[in-house]
Amino acid sequence: MRVLIACEYSGTVRDAFLAAGHDAMSCDLLPTDKPGPHYQGDVFDILGDGWDMLIAHPPCTYLCSSGLHWNKRRPERAEQTEAALAFVQTLLDAPIERIALENPIGCISTRIRKPDQTIQPWQFGHDASKATCLWLKNLGPLTPTQTVPPRLIDGRKRWGNQTDSGQNKLPPFADRWKIRSATYQGIADAMAAQWGAA
């Protein structure tokens, strides 16, 4: 299949599909972190180029629940949320037979539609918690591949990327957003193996 991985600079999902024998290309405004087929530019430049599948990772800055409280205090953020929702809707409406769009828990669920599935990295071989919603078109839900059990802290489940209170362990630094937004390899491999066989 010809697979477009939109809003991906890491190359993780692209490379998983390439390894599974598909013609895959990533696309982002940023250059790719790893050598491989990549279009640096606006995804709308190539969205209609005859893809069989689209996997989209739109930026979550103005969509995720953790940041929406700022919209009431800063009106320009509310406008950026509206623009982000319009971008998501255009991706979901793309003329492509199979579509998966991923994002954290946020306003896509209440403003566009509820996700078809919510997955966790610990379901795909990683000692990490990060709820990720999937909106699917003509693709089945992902089947977990390898469950990593949590540790228990005062009766609450915690994984390796969490503090005892449940917060993410990464301290603030310049590239924190890149690390936190990257797709886990186990999830990328499951997408390629399961959706690539669709």
The three-state secondary structure class of 96 is coil
**Each residue's pLDDT tens digit, 99-143:** 999 999 888 889 899 999 999 999 999 999 999 999 999 999 999
Say which residues have a Cβ less than 8 Å from residue 196's Cβ, sequence separation at least 6: 1, 3, 17, 20, 21, 22
Identify the bridge partners of residue 76 per DSSP, sorted by sequence position: none
Domains for the chain: give ranges and CATH numbers. Answer: 2-195 (3.40.50)
The three-state secondary structure class of 113 is coil
Name the average pLDDT for the chain: 88
pLDDT of residue 167: 67
**Each residue's pLDDT tens digit, 72-89:** 676 777 678 778 899 999
**Each residue's pLDDT tens digit, 174-186:** 565 455 567 999 9
